[in-house]
Chains A and B, each alone.
Chain A
Amino acid sequence: MHDANWEPRIVAFFCNWCTYTAADLAGVSRLKYAPNVRIVRLMCSGRVDPQFILAALAGGADGVLIGGCHIGDCHYVEGNLKTLRRFQMLKRMLAEFGIEDQRVRLEWISASEGDKVRSVINEMVEQLRPLGALALREQFKEWGREVADGQPVSVALGEAKQETEVAHV
């Protein structure tokens, strides 16, 4: 179902202080890397809610990259440590969901490691190629077809379910 021009798409969550700055440095240094990555800036990798990672995968990403300061170097003392703890569990859970290990990656990249931004992104793109497209957005549509009116199973992204709070019952 996927065309030959398929290119892996990576959503990257980079912390403001180290990895985002390193990506800036890669730019200032005119390093060249694969154009498959879309960087979302957060103040700390600790802000990376596992929901974001799932939303990126469900929304069409083939891989998710999280970048933070090296352990011990977090601008917010230990935010990256909290990320590491979540990430270790998330990897186990994603395995249960059938998502390949290489699709979600956590890297510590300091503000001076512009070159590491390049090598990590290039490497990840190459690792995603043999896995092929995850294409969950299309996949959910496909699965949704078995329900009579063909409406998609649910909208993974976009507006959260319309709910209104009622008084405590």
Chain B
Amino acid sequence: MKTNLTNGDIRIGFYICHCGHNIGGVVDCTAVAHEITGLPGVVVSRDYKYMCSDPGQELIRNDIREHALNRIVVASCSPLLHEHTFRNAVEAGGLNRYFFQMVNIREHDSWVHTDHAKATTKAVALARAAVLRVRFHRALETTRVAIHPDVLVVGGGISGIHAALTLANAGKKVYLVERDPSIGGHMAKFDKTFPTLDCAACILTPKMSAVRANKNIKLWTYSEVAKVDGYVGNYTVTVRRKPRYVNEELCIGCQECIEACVFKEGKYPDEFNVGLSKRKPIYIPFPQAVPQVVVIDPERCLQLKSGRCKKTCVEACADRQAIDFTQKEEMAEIKVGNIIVATGFKLFDAKRIPQYGYGLYPNVVTSIELERLVTSSGPTGGEIIMRDGRTPQSVAFVLCVGSRDFRTNRWCSRTCCMHSMKLAQLVREHTGADVTVFYLDIRAPGKGCEEFYDKSLKDGIQFVRGRVAEVTDWALTPEEEGKLVIRAEDTLAGVVRRIPVDMIVLAVGMEPQADSQAVRRLFNMSCGSEGWFLEKHPKLAPVSTFTDGVFIAGCCQGPKDIPDSIAQAGAAAAEAMALIDRGYIEQEPNTAYVVEEDCSGCKSCLPLCPYTAITLDGTTQKATINAALCKGCGTCVAACPSGSIRQHLFEDDEIFSEIEGVLTHA
């Protein structure tokens, strides 16, 4: 019979792992091993403390030799975790690595059930299914796919910059795509960084310049990824390059055009200064912007809006002729082997908590606004002043704004405690104002951070534990007159307090980017329920995603500070480099294949393949599958009405026997 896949004498070795108490504490592993002993073809059935350990693997290797085993089943954790480990062991024992089947009795059994007897019964059922299934396994070869050596880095914040530089410095060609007109991201807006208080610009700007100077980096700012096709090693990416109406090659960044604009003063909110200052329709995002190329805002520019402008900017640019009002959006297609997504975060909108008065009271500001006020290159030249120009005498910080709250975001944004303490110290330093910090818990776990907290306490910053209830300008006493009044329960003192201050700083938390779902789909990634991009494994694969060749770094994966972002960026670059330098990736041979003599050429399968891997052979009039294009979903296999398409590792007989196995009564 043609569908008969069993070959020769089947000799199965079965191993069940206690995983310490993780499995053994719930599942009676010895009983399972005993139960499996009686099944046809089972030659060896053992339980062992830790199968994934060296001695555990050695057990498999030895048994293969001693008992001439030709099929191995291991019941332990998820195959997504250790299938690779055991396949290696099987291969080291001299068998083809695909003569192996794994049974998930930890994540899918011992960890999720409390009834020991039922968990054991379930383990037996799952193990029996694997033992029945593995009979049908066949020797398969892994296929190698070449890795295109170029890398795409998406997002030009500190994570993207670091990843791009790491790769470029190793000689890899990198495309760095940034949505804004300049790279730099959030970090470019910071004055100093905690806990060392070193100047953010001093450490970031050189890296930005290095990006500009590096021959291996192709920097595309004001650009967005529009489309991603292909698979690991062979991605084709389409990048939308928005018109900046200034030729990047010709502009030298002298900014004379900005000076010459018909608008004598800035008129529109400056994005970089979070609206605290105004810019013109033609502008450069910030003095250290990379690239040093001006950009024209088409929504504001008279010429672009109405076509009726004196175009003094063009005059100022003179014979350089960098300004080009005819620029159109362009689509550029690039080929890369790996992609690093470092698209960052957005800040929580403080207006979502109306009781804190943001947007209502001018002197309620967000932490990033204060950051810009503190910065010497900021809109006030580093002076901390209120909207009316006065210097505040008292400042309060409200922590966890939008974070750690069921009504908004449940997560901790991880950086706000430290960021607020940094700002508090700077406020003390710049103004001598009284500073009070309202907190839920102070989280200062990073290196040097607890010490920084100590310093804050010593600097005379007051800490009040309690979530702020509301901010008002209703004065009840003469001291409160003309001030903002914070009402909060001081949970250490056990009293509700009213504290009048001049200025209130809301430490807004981090959120996934507004378009994170669209970006996730673009790169075929998953999101956690909160919207952060999901890593392949929270511990063992923190920068990998479920799509091979797509890595994540920085805050798009979850809130983190600069050192952690940089560490992730480096890790992502290293992961990409590991693939590039090996030159190929071994693909799971789970591809579908057509048995040509069985196929009737009915073409039912052709439209089902999203990768156009199936074509009709013009001569034979039968379907054929290009294994290099097939990604192994098996949709065509399930659809083939005459059963003529099969799938390696997921053959019908394998699945039918698995179904039979899980349903056989103990």
Question: A residues touching B (Cβ–Cβ < 8 Å)?
Answer: 9, 11, 16-18, 20-21, 23-24, 26-28, 30-33, 35, 38-44, 46-52, 55-56, 59-61, 72-73, 75-79, 82, 86, 110-113, 118, 137, 157-158, 160, 162-165
Contact B78 A49 (CB under 8 A): no
Q: How large is the interface on B (under 10, 10 to 19, 20 to 34, 35 or more residues)?
A: 35 or more
Residue of B nearest to A117 (CB): B112
Which 3 residue pairs are nearest across A and B when measured between Cβ atoms?
Answer: A27-B107, A47-B634, A46-B635
B577-605 near A? 1/0 per residue, CB < 8 Å: 00000000000001000000000000000
Query: B546 and A164: CB pair below 8 A?
Result: no
B521 lies within 8 A of A24 (CB): no
Q: Are B633 and A43 in contact (CB under 8 A)?
A: yes
Q: B528 near A43 (CB under 8 angstroms)?
A: no
**B279 contacts the other chain (CB 8 A):** no
The one of A17, A59, A110 that contacts B663, using a Cβ cutoff of 8 Å? A59
Contact A46 B633 (CB under 8 A): yes
Partner of A165, one of B2, B81, B546: B2
Q: How far is the CB of A47 from chain B (nearest CB, A)?
A: 3
A166 to chain B, nearest CB (A): 12
A21 engages B80 (CB within 8 Å): yes
**Nearest chain B CB to A160 CB, angstrom units:** 6
- A157's contact among B3, B632, B659, by CB below 8 Å, is which? B659
The answer to whether B638 touches A49 (Cβ under 8 A) is yes
> Which parts of B631-666 form the interface with A (CB within 8 Å)?
631-635, 637-639, 647, 650, 652-653, 655-656, 658-660, 662-665
A112 touches B633 (CB 8 A): no
Contact A112:B528 (CB < 8 A) given known A23-B108, A73-B521: yes
In angstroms, how far is the closest chain B Cβ from the Cβ of A45?
Answer: 9
Cα of A27 to Cα of B662 in the assembled complex, Å: 20
**B638 with A47: CB separation less than 8 A:** yes
Q: A79 and B112: CB pair below 8 A?
A: no
Give the nearest-CB partner of B133 in chain A: A40
Taking CB atoms, residues of chain B closer than 8 Å to A18 are 526
Listed A/B pairs (10) with beta-carbon separation below 8 Å: A9-B663, A24-B81, A27-B78, A30-B111, A35-B115, A38-B663, A41-B79, A59-B659, A72-B521, A162-B1
CB of A11 within 8 A of CB of B633, answer no
Query: B122 in the interface, Cβ–Cβ < 8 Å?
Result: yes
Determine the chain A residues whose CB is within 8 A of the CB of B652 once the complex forms. 49, 51
Are A32 and B113 within 8 A (Cβ)?
yes
B112 interface neighbour in A31, A41, A47, A137, Cβ under 8 Å: A31
Contact of A48 among B109, B114, B129, B638 (CB under 8 A): B638
**B106 close to chain A: CB less than 8 A:** yes
B1–A75 contact, CB under 8 A? no
Known: A24-B78, A164-B1. A40 touches B659 (CB 8 A): yes
How far is the CB of B131 from the nearest CB of chain A, in Å?
14
> What is the minimal beta-carbon distance from B221 to any residue of chain A, in angstroms?
30
| Known contacts A40-B662, A47-B634; A111/B534 CB under 8 A | yes
A39 to B126, CA, bound (A): 8
Would A77 and B610 count as touching, CB distance under 8 A?
yes
How distant is the Cα of A79 from the Cα of B610 in the complex, in angstroms? 9
Q: Is the CB of B546 within 8 A of A52?
A: no
12 additional A-B residue pairs with CB within 8 Å, beyond A42-B650, A49-B652, A52-B659? A23-B107, A24-B78, A24-B81, A28-B111, A38-B662, A43-B634, A48-B638, A50-B638, A51-B652, A51-B656, A52-B656, A118-B112
Complex Cα distance, B518 from A72, in Å, reads 10
Q: B528, A75: Cβ atoms under 8 Å?
A: no
Chain B nearest CB, measured from A89 CB (Å):
13
Q: Which of A40, A43, A55, A60 contacts B632 (CB 8 A)?
A: A43
Is A24 touching B112 in the complex (CB atoms < 8 A)? no
CB B605 to nearest CB in A, in angstroms, measures: 11
Min CB gap A56→B, angstroms = 5
Against A, the Cβ 8 Å flags (1 = close, 0 = not) of B527-547 are 111000010001000000011
Q: Which residue in chain B gives the minimum CB-CB distance to A21?
A: B80
Q: Is the CB of B639 within 8 A of A112?
A: no
CB nearest neighbor in A for B635: A46
Give the distance to chain B from A114, nearest Cβ to Cβ, in Å: 9
Evaluate contact between B637 and A55: CB separation under 8 angstroms. no
Q: Could you say which of A23, A55, A61 contacts B656, with CB atoms under 8 Å apart?
A: A55
With A21-B546, A38-B129 known as contacts, the answer to whether A76 contacts B631 (CB < 8 A) is yes
Is B639 within 8 A of A24, CB to CB? no
A137 to B108 alpha-carbon distance, docked (Å): 26
Q: Taking CB as reference atom, which chain A residue is nearest B113?
A: A35
Please name all residues of chain A whose beta carbon is closer than 8 Å to the beta carbon of B64 when the two chains form the complex.
none
Q: Using known A-B contacts A35-B115, A38-B129, determine if residue A47 contacts B663 with beta carbons closer than 8 Å.
A: no
Determine the chain A residues whose CB is within 8 A of the CB of B122 once the complex forms.
35, 38
Cβ of B211 within 8 Å of any chain A Cβ, yes or no, is no
Complex Cα distance A78/B524, Å? 12
Q: Give bound CA distance, A42 to B654, whole Å.
A: 11
Bound-complex Cα distance A157 to B660 (A):
7
